[in-house]
Chains A and B, each alone.
Chain A
Amino acid sequence: MSVHLLRGAFLLAVAAVFGFNALHLKIGSPAKPGPGLFPLIVSCALGLAALGMMTEGRRELTEPNTFVLKNIALITIAMMGFTIIAHWSVIPAIVFLVFVSSLAGSNYSVVRCIKISAVLIAFAAAFRFGLGVNLRWWW
């Protein structure tokens, strides 16, 4: 399928979500616009642009790039795990982030992960104690 068709469909879906939600807000009148008027207008404009892109897709047959789920999924899991664990302590959070995100790399090394974790913990200490960033250090 052409990339133009795909991205047109994607943006049309986004425009529909925002547009329908805007309809649930107070639209008001042009003289006294409510909170829904502006997003509704922008959603309509986005929808039109998306339709335009889909029309372009009929002329241009460019394929989309390959979507590799594994790497982005590992990165997302690593960040979400970091956030959950950092509520208690940033040290195990860093270790989790490094060990999980490194799985996305081409070659995995436990020793390397330990070294990176140690360096990042030192950075976290500098942020925490040097710059006063409110990272939770201990449980």
Chain B
Amino acid sequence: MIDILNNLSMGFGHALTTSNLLYCLLGCSIGTLIGLLPGMGPLATISLLLPLTFKLPLDGSLIMLAGIYYGAQYGDNVSAITMKMPHAASIVACIDGYQMTLNGRAGLALFAAGVSSFIGGTVAIVVLSTVAEPLAHVSLLFGPADYCALMVLGFFCVSYVSTGGSVLSGFAMSLLGVLLGQIGTDINTGDQRFTFGQDALVDGIGLISIALGCFGIAEIAKNLDAKSGFTPFSGKIDLRPTWGEFKRIIPSALRGSVVGSFLGLIPGGGPTMAQFGAYAVEKKFSKYSAEIGQGAIEGVSGQAAADEAAARTSFIPLMSIGIPENAVMALMMAVFIMKGIQPGPGMIQKNPTLFWTLVTSMWVGNVFLLIVNVPLVRYLLSIFRIPFANLFPAILFFCCVGTFSHQNNLDEIYVTAAFGVIGYTLLRLRLEAAPLMLGFILGPMLEEYFRRALTINRGDFTVFIKSPISGTIFGLIAVFIVVNIAMNLRKPKQVAASAAAASASEH
């Protein structure tokens, strides 16, 4: 305990220098500003702002990039809540957050997201500094089969949450996402798969193309179809909650922090899965679970805390075992290597100052987010108080620039446009794109672990049941499927008229 306090005090000593404070503040503010722009998620924002950090010192550049990451995440949450323009990191924020905006409570949703992010970040930093090493060892206990089971569990969680209980269509979308993740070159053999002779597909489909296409562009087309003069930020934005509302934020934020801190630690988990996990937990355990899905504070605060907590604890696998668990961490890993630091076992021991400075600067970034960015957001949002007819060409432009800036490749915009059409078709068929995104992100990793599990066990498929962890997880999934089928069979036949009425109210 004394060691941790000493290390934290050393970290604060470095993080609170004027230059590092400035880098942190700059990172958080620019990250929020760029992340606010529709079409600019954390991945696009970090990619875009990466050149700014090239000439900075090692700790300064990492602090600034981390600040950009958190700032962009909050900004991304804001665009998800107010305009339903999410990326992988804020898909769940759309569900209740956007509903709260439609109910005229955008300010409360933004406040809940900001405060919950602070709580999530703070809890995660306590986890990071106290139990980082033991938990990193726990994650090492997972074998390839266990990782597979964990990812399949993730698909079921996402399917259940996003489709409101109908697991089959959600799971099918996860599988579709996994298949889309197979497009490109097989990393084990170098064979091209499903490229259909197109050079643009040799490196696979970019996450940004799918995210912007299926969410951003499909959403624009849907709004245009509805001919709604929808203005995302019309009305007054009041960030002050009542005491009753504030009291509802804290418990769900704490639950989300615990879920996020845990899921952020496990490779294959991370912010995306953490949000869905926290949302499912809220749906199950919240006192207001009946309101979730219709604009409940808990639906925003739980996922925001989990998102932030997982974003911080996801640094642990990267720094302690050298595995980036998502695209953002892969970018971070690239920066570490560019600066001459090799993430992995021994990094914390070799670079304690860097590690503890980064840990403490995360909390400093949290404070900046809370006291600077959250109040500032209402003024930044006023920039966007413009009619949808004026806004949507601009959103399209940002989608194009966001796609292009990822790999400096204009041709990727074709892929984004194609996914716009696919996303729109899915929307019209009432198929959820969120499970597809998760399947796409986890698909390549799932295949890698699947092949590794089979190779290690000489082709024995029973390894997925014999391993205690994966056996338990698959057992739980089996029970879940049986219960779901039984519940579906009990449902009375729907009549077309009532379904059409429900559909009209949804869309």
Asked if residues A64 and B389 are in contact (CB atoms below 8 Å), the reply is no
A129 contact set on B, CB distance < 8 A: none
Asked if residues B454 and A105 are in contact (CB atoms below 8 Å), the reply is no
Asked if residues A56 and B461 are in contact (CB atoms below 8 Å), the reply is no
A11 nearest CB neighbor, chain B only? B172
Stretch in B72-80, B174-182, B281-289, B370-378 with 4+ CB within 8 Å of A: B174-182
Interface 1/0 per residue, A8-43 and B, CB below 8 Å = 001100110010011001100111111111110011
A119 contact set on B, CB distance < 8 A: 394
A82 contact set on B, CB distance < 8 A: 396-397, 400, 413
Whether B168 sits at the interface, judged by CB under 8 Å, is yes
Asked if residues A62 and B503 are in contact (CB atoms below 8 Å), the reply is yes
| A134 to B47 alpha-carbon distance, docked (Å) | 12
Interface 1/0 per residue, B188-216 and A, CB below 8 Å = 11010110000000000000000000000
A32 contact set on B, CB distance < 8 A: 455, 459
Whether B247 sits at the interface, judged by CB under 8 Å, is no
Asked if residues B49 and A131 are in contact (CB atoms below 8 Å), the reply is yes
Q: Measured between C-beta atoms, what is the minimum distance from A102 to chain B in Å?
A: 6
Asked if residues A132 and B454 are in contact (CB atoms below 8 Å), the reply is no
Asked if residues A43 and B461 are in contact (CB atoms below 8 Å), the reply is no
Asked if residues A46 and B176 are in contact (CB atoms below 8 Å), the reply is yes
Asked if residues B389 and A38 are in contact (CB atoms below 8 Å), the reply is no
Asked if residues A72 and B454 are in contact (CB atoms below 8 Å), the reply is no
Asked if residues A45 and B175 are in contact (CB atoms below 8 Å), the reply is yes
Interface 1/0 per residue, B459-475 and A, CB below 8 Å = 11100000000000000
Give which listed residue, A10, A25, A61, A86, contacts B193 with CB less than 8 A: A25
Whether A75 sits at the interface, judged by CB under 8 Å, is yes
Asked if residues A18 and B400 are in contact (CB atoms below 8 Å), the reply is no
Give which listed residue, B189, B390, B401, contacts A35 with CB less than 8 A: B189
A34 nearest CB neighbor, chain B only? B189
Whether B225 sits at the interface, judged by CB under 8 Å, is yes
Whether B51 sits at the interface, judged by CB under 8 Å, is yes
Q: Main SS of chain A's interface residues? A: helix
Asked if residues B488 and A56 are in contact (CB atoms below 8 Å), the reply is yes
Q: Measured between C-beta atoms, what is the minimum distance from A40 to chain B in Å?
A: 10
Asked if residues A94 and B49 are in contact (CB atoms below 8 Å), the reply is no
Whether A116 sits at the interface, judged by CB under 8 Å, is yes
**Taking A25-B191, A25-B193, A35-B188 as contacts, is the C-beta distance between A79 and B424 under 8 angstroms?**
no
Whether A91 sits at the interface, judged by CB under 8 Å, is no
| A21 to B161 alpha-carbon distance, docked (Å) | 32
Whether B348 sits at the interface, judged by CB under 8 Å, is no
A15 contact set on B, CB distance < 8 A: 179
Q: Measured between C-beta atoms, what is the minimum distance from B420 to chain A in Å?
A: 6
| A49 to B174 alpha-carbon distance, docked (Å) | 11
A76 contact set on B, CB distance < 8 A: 417, 420-421
B454 contact set on A, CB distance < 8 A: 30-31, 33
B401 contact set on A, CB distance < 8 A: 124, 127, 133, 135
B137 contact set on A, CB distance < 8 A: none
B51 contact set on A, CB distance < 8 A: 131-132
Asked if residues B410 and A31 are in contact (CB atoms below 8 Å), the reply is no
Asked if residues A112 and B417 are in contact (CB atoms below 8 Å), the reply is no
Residues of A within 8 A of B (CB): 3, 6-7, 10-11, 14-15, 18, 21-22, 25-26, 29-39, 42-43, 45-46, 49-50, 52-53, 56, 59-68, 71-72, 75-76, 78-80, 82-83, 86-87, 94, 97-98, 101-102, 104-107, 112-113, 116, 119-120, 123-124, 127, 131-135
> What 8 A-B pairs have minimum CB-CB distances, sorted nearest first?
A30-B459, A31-B459, A62-B499, A49-B172, A35-B186, A79-B417, A46-B175, A7-B429
24 interchain pairs, CB-CB under 8 A: A18-B182, A26-B191, A30-B459, A31-B454, A49-B168, A49-B171, A62-B430, A62-B494, A62-B496, A64-B428, A71-B224, A72-B221, A75-B417, A76-B420, A76-B421, A83-B414, A86-B410, A87-B410, A97-B396, A97-B397, A101-B396, A106-B224, A123-B397, A124-B401
Residues of B within 8 A of A (CB): 48-49, 51-52, 168-169, 171-172, 175-176, 178-179, 182, 186, 188-189, 191, 193-194, 217, 220-221, 224-225, 227, 229, 389-390, 392-394, 396-397, 399-401, 404-405, 408, 410-411, 413-414, 416-417, 420-421, 424-425, 427-431, 447, 450-451, 454-455, 458-461, 488, 491, 493-496, 499-500, 503, 507
